[in-house]
Amino acid sequence: MASSLRLPAGKTLSTTWPVIFNAQLSTPGAPQCRYFSQASQRWAYKSQNFSPRTSSQPSMKVRSKDLLMGQLPNDIGLLPGTFVRPLWRDMPSIFNEPRDRLMMEWTWIKSAFQNFLSLIIYNKKDNKYPMLLFKPRRKIATDLYKDMYSSFARGDIQNIRKLCCDGLSKKLIQQIENRPSTEKVTWTLENWIRRPSTYFTGVRVLSDRATQLPEVSHSGVRQIVLRLTSRQAMSKTNTAPVRGKAVAEAEPTAKQQDVVEYVVIQNIIWNGRESEWRVWGNTSPTSIHKIYTDPYFAPGLSAMERIQAMMK
């Protein structure tokens, strides 16, 4: 695990943390980063012929949907064309690079309108789809965020699989399994840091997109990207015995760190059945280079030209 950095008074660290978890890392300009039913059967026997009679079973259509839902991969990647607004200090200067700054601001406005339109279509096209969830979506994200890191700290593999998409859960589980059995990790979210970058809430929605899955009726995916700014505390303790004697656990001093993370949560609907919200992983803010080179953002291209460029 990476040790925390001592920062001067009034300074905070704006890079993604905890590096100790190594959840999913992004490379600059990359679009992505890298997070039972059991039916019992009862038998009844008739008094004359003793022929077994099964309890009512789901239809073949329902069982087929259940099978497909179980086989559907939940890690489909970050939706192409997702614009993640950078922090103010990381954007091009309006005085030194006015063209780039205006291009980024225009892309942000255009993406926000397109995202809202996609949610309306996603929600209204079929009444089986969920509500827009504009108000509770931040709470959904923060609950998942805290549960994920708490489960990782205590090594709860089962809960990690439930909370995270396949790609992220595999990485976290691998780190848990590689952790020494004598090491005890604790993680605490001290408080949300309320800054202008999150409208003084600590949590800001940067992108909320939804799209239908092609050639599959009543199916779609929704992804929300949020900027989370928080103060966290982490500690670890080695409980290995010394010279055959158990060591009394002393409460370690938790190391605090100010953290800025861009977290992606995801919800999938398959054949009209809605899955639970999960953490997909982390992503990076969209760079001006990506805006000029990515066919989803590049100016001066028609819709057909964008499709052809993406298929290359």
Confidence of residue 252 (pLDDT cuts 50, 70, 90): low
Model confidence over 51-108: pLDDT tens digits?
A: 333 344 444 444 445 545 555 678 888 998 999 999 999 999 999 999 999 999 999 9
Query: Quick one: pLDDT at residue 121?
Result: 84
Residues 77 and 1: their CA atoms lie apart, in Å, by: 26
Query: Quick one: pLDDT at residue 304?
Result: 59
Kindly report the three-state secondary structure assignment for every residue of the chain: CCCCCCCCCCCCCCCCCCHHHCCCCECCCCCCECCCCCCCCCCEECCCCCCEECCCCCCHHHHHHHHHHHHCCCCCCCCCCCCCCCCHHHCCCCCCCHHHHHHHHHHHHHHHHHHHHHHHHHHHCCCCCCCCCCCCHHHHHHHHHHHHHHHHHHCCHHHHHHHECHHHHHHHHHHHHHCCCCEEEEEEEEEECCCHHHCCCCEEEEEEEEEECCCCCCCEEEEEEEEEEEEEEEEEEECCCECCECCCCCCCCCEEEEEEEEEEEEEEEECCEECCCEEEEECCCCCHHHHHHCCCCCCCCCHHHHHHHHCC
pLDDT exceeds cutoff 70 at 283: yes
Model confidence over 199-241: pLDDT tens digits?
A: 999 999 999 999 888 777 778 899 999 999 999 999 988 876 6
Confidence of residue 274 (pLDDT cuts 50, 70, 90): confident
Query: Is it true that domain 19-29+78-238+251-310 has CATH number 3.90.650.10?
Result: no
Q: Which among 23, 22, 3, 21 has a CA at the least distance from the CA of 13?
A: 3
Contact 184, 155 (CB under 8 A): no
Residues 246 and 257: their CA atoms lie apart, in Å, by: 31
Q: Which among 130, 137, 176, 156 has a CA at the least distance from the CA of 273?
A: 130
Contact 130, 123 (CB under 8 A): yes
Query: Quick one: pLDDT at residue 35?
Result: 38
Give ∠ CA 200-85-267 in degrees, rounded to 5: 85
Q: Of 9-18, 115-124, 211-220, 270-279, where does mean pLDDT reach its minimum?
A: 9-18
Confidence of residue 278 (pLDDT cuts 50, 70, 90): very high
Q: Return mean pLDDT, the chain.
A: 77
Confidence of residue 286 (pLDDT cuts 50, 70, 90): very high
For the entire predicted model, the pTM comes to 0.74
In angstroms, the Cα distances linking 92 to 113, 200, 217, 307 are: 22, 23, 42, 28
Domain ranges of the chain: 19-29+78-238+251-310
Between 35 and 238, the higher pLDDT residue? 238
Mean pLDDT on 39-45: 33
pLDDT exceeds cutoff 60 at 13: no
Residues 193 and 215: their CA atoms lie apart, in Å, by: 43
